[in-house]
Amino acid sequence: MTEFGYQHDFAMAGVHAADLNRRLGFFAHELRNLLSTATLALSVIKLGDVGVNGATGGVLDRALVGLANLIDRSLAEVRTSAGMPVQHRLFSLADFIAEVKLSASLEAGVRECTLAVSNVDPSLAVDADRDLLLSAVGNLLQNAFKFSHPHSEISLNAYAAADRILIDVEDRCGGLPPGDAERFFTPFTQAGEDTSGLGLGLTIARRCAEANLGTLGVRNLPGLGCVFSLDLPRHWLPGTEPEEGELEAIVA
């Protein structure tokens, strides 16, 4: 039995090491490609023959946005995989969505898409780890921009339903292929012609949602696209809480 336990532990250590090496390999490959692209574009701009507002400047923008996304995803994966403590705090949902809109608008322009963001009830709040939630929504938007048809509109909607808060990202990818949509949440799963990235975005987004006591699901819109929906507990900002009777009606 002792020998069996030793062999089992040794085999499992090998599996974990192989998985880590694969992840590091993917990360290094993507990092090198993006950095090389950014360096080359900057070198061309420095020659003075092209301006930063032209096509070369656009290449530099895309590379820098890609680098930022890659680093953000990797940091979120480390936090969720390592079981680091979640830093919950209450904050405004409207302010959070405004922050997401500000950062996502740049990527929308780089990806030749438009971003439509709904108005958010100013009384709504979430009690969550803001960084992990930013990573979750950011990954959903990155996927939406990546797989939607050029010049299409991506929608970001945040609203309350009973005692829950929903954050929906609707894309225009043309709809999900036949089969189990859950497989897209499996690590290293890629879909569509654009296979850049690590294939970890949806996996990380779901882990971030679960760390914040929420869920992440997907709804297919055949022929149009799909809607990824973050479901979180509903909270109110101080001073905006409903009365007891109103609260019971909302939950019901």
The answer to whether 196 and 67 are in contact (CB under 8 A) is no
Overall CATH class of domain 89-236: alpha beta
What SS3 class is residue 84?
coil
Per-position pLDDT tens, the chain of length 252: 565 455 545 455 555 555 555 656 556 656 776 677 777 777 777 877 766 677 777 777 777 777 777 777 676 666 666 666 778 899 999 999 998 888 788 778 878 889 999 999 999 999 998 888 888 898 899 889 888 998 999 999 999 999 999 999 999 999 887 766 666 655 445 555 544 444 566 887 888 898 899 999 999 999 999 999 999 999 999 877 776 655 555 655
Q: Angle at which helices 55-81 and 2-46 pack, to 10 degrees?
A: 160
Global pTM reads 0.69
What SS3 class is residue 232?
strand
Tokens 């490609």 locate to: 33
d(CA 168, CA 181): 16
Tokens 């694969």 locate to: 22
Q: Which amino acid type is present at position 214?
A: G
40 to each of 35, 117, 191, 207, how far by Cα in Å?
9, 34, 29, 35
d(CA 33, CA 36): 5
Phi, psi (degrees; rounded to nearest 5) at 180: -80, 115
